[in-house]
Structure 1
Amino acid sequence: MTETPARRPEASSGLTGPILVGVMPGQQPVVVEHAAQMAVAAGLPLVCAYADVTVYPVDGTTGGPSAPIDPDGVDDRTQDVPQALRTALEAQLADFSVDWSTVLLAGEPSHALAREAESIGASMIVVGTREHTLTAAFKDVAAGSVARHLCHRQRRPVLVVPVNPRVPDDDDDD
């Protein structure tokens, strides 16, 4: 009896669409850095998506028409990612050899990211965990986390990057 050799994985990662990363002002750089590392390793572009929760998609599509939730509170915002966020992304991605772009999304972040991932054929979605603060804990209890919603409500892989992980010094689960 002869054995057939085990099939070796192809050199390609099997990923074909861009890596989509959820970004927001003040976010820890580790999230974008991990997403950039994945994109570089796979030879794919990186799409940095900012979901503006003060507007909603009128027709349910990504990049389509949107309207403010509070029409009386409308200011003269541009329909683009905030400049401070764009500047932070430029600094974070300067050392990576990756083609990257930004996109402004409308609505609740997990839904907006899932819609955008479907629209661009993303290979995966990268998001970070919440900071360890009392406010973040209340938000998690009240609304749940973006990562949790994404993991349960769409079919693409989701990479959740720990931000500020709390690992006890006496953690001996080896």
Structure 2
Amino acid sequence: MTETPAPHPEASGKMSGPILVGVMPRQQPVVVEKAAQVAAGAGLPLVCAYADATVYPVDGTTGGPAAPIDPDGVEGAQGIPESLTASIAEQLAGWDVAWSIVPLAGEPAHALAREAASIGASMIVVGTREHKLTAAIKELTAGSVARRLFHRQEVPVLVVPVNPRVPDDDDDD
């Protein structure tokens, strides 16, 4: 008689690792709130990750030493803006969820992917871009973080619409 191995938590549909959410200054609150809702519902911690694209990871790790891309740039550029930490703390004040915030270095999609693998995340949560001209230009030149993530991840990626546009002629009411 052969012994059947115990199923992995992922195979049983039970999430076991933290929920990882990409955060940035002036981000719409709905992204963090949706991530908190998922984390609280699953009884998991929430890890907020701020990726600083102006620095790169020196040793390839997410939370390790980083150096500025522009050596003449502002010294000490890596770090989490205090206003971002305060905003997240305010948003999560009413939620019964353990949370933390970590700085990441490098291009956001790659940095989030590295961090998700590093912490054994159950899910990555990101928001869509706002419907503004600058966001459209960024998407054309740099691409979408969400698109890069969901094409290259082994963990689920939840993309939260920041301000969805519904056509006027949409009659699905």
Following TM superposition, by how much is the alpha carbon of 1:13 offset from its aligned partner in structure 2, in angstroms? 5.6
C-alpha separation in 1, matches of 2:18 and 2:166: 32
Following TM superposition, by how much is the alpha carbon of 1:76 offset from its aligned partner in structure 2, in angstroms? 4.0
Unaligned segments of structure 2, at least 5 residues: 1-11
Following TM superposition, by how much is the alpha carbon of 1:62 offset from its aligned partner in structure 2, in angstroms? 1.1
Following TM superposition, by how much is the alpha carbon of 1:125 offset from its aligned partner in structure 2, in angstroms? 0.1
Aligned CA RMSD, in angstroms, stands at 1.5
Following TM superposition, by how much is the alpha carbon of 1:104 offset from its aligned partner in structure 2, in angstroms? 0.1
Could you tell me which residue of structure 1 aligns to residue 63 of structure 2? Answer: 63
What one-letter code is carried by the residue in structure 1 that aligns with 2:97?
Answer: V
**1:59-81 deviation digits (Å, cap 9, x = unpaired):** 2111111110011113245x531
C-alpha separation in 2, matches of 1:86 and 1:68: 22
Shifted more, 136-145 versus 47-56: the winner is 136-145
Could you tell me which residue of structure 2 aligns to residue 156 of structure 1? Answer: 155
What one-letter code is carried by the residue in structure 2 that aligns with 1:60?
Answer: G
* SS across alignment from 2:72: helix
Shifted more, 96-105 versus 137-146: the winner is 137-146
Any conservation in 2 of the 1:127–1:159 contact (CA below 8 Å)? yes
What is the number of equivalent residue pairs in this alignment?
Answer: 162
What one-letter code is carried by the residue in structure 1 that aligns with 2:53?
Answer: V
C-alpha separation in 2, matches of 1:104 and 1:155: 22
Could you tell me which residue of structure 2 aligns to residue 105 of structure 1? Answer: 104
Following TM superposition, by how much is the alpha carbon of 1:160 offset from its aligned partner in structure 2, in angstroms? 0.1
Could you tell me which residue of structure 2 aligns to residue 18 of structure 1? Answer: 18
C-alpha separation in 2, matches of 1:105 and 1:94: 24
Correspondence list, 1:19-34, <5 A: 19-34=19-34
Could you tell me which residue of structure 2 aligns to residue 90 of structure 1? Answer: 89
What is the aligned-residue identity percentage?
A: 75
User: Do the aligned partners of residues 76 and 141 (structure 1) sit closer, same or farther apart at CA in structure 2, a change above 3 Å counting?
Assistant: closer
* SS across alignment from 1:163: coil
C-alpha separation in 1, matches of 2:93 and 2:132: 30
C-alpha separation in 2, matches of 1:133 and 1:14: 38
What one-letter code is carried by the residue in structure 1 that aligns with 2:67?
Answer: A
Any conservation in 2 of the 1:13–1:42 contact (CA below 8 Å)? no
Unaligned segments of structure 1, at least 5 residues: 1-11
Q: Please give the TM-score of this superposition, normalised by the length of structure 2.
A: 0.89
C-alpha separation in 2, matches of 1:30 and 1:136: 18
What one-letter code is carried by the residue in structure 2 that aligns with 1:23?
Answer: V
Q: Please give the TM-score of this superposition, normalised by the length of structure 1.
A: 0.89
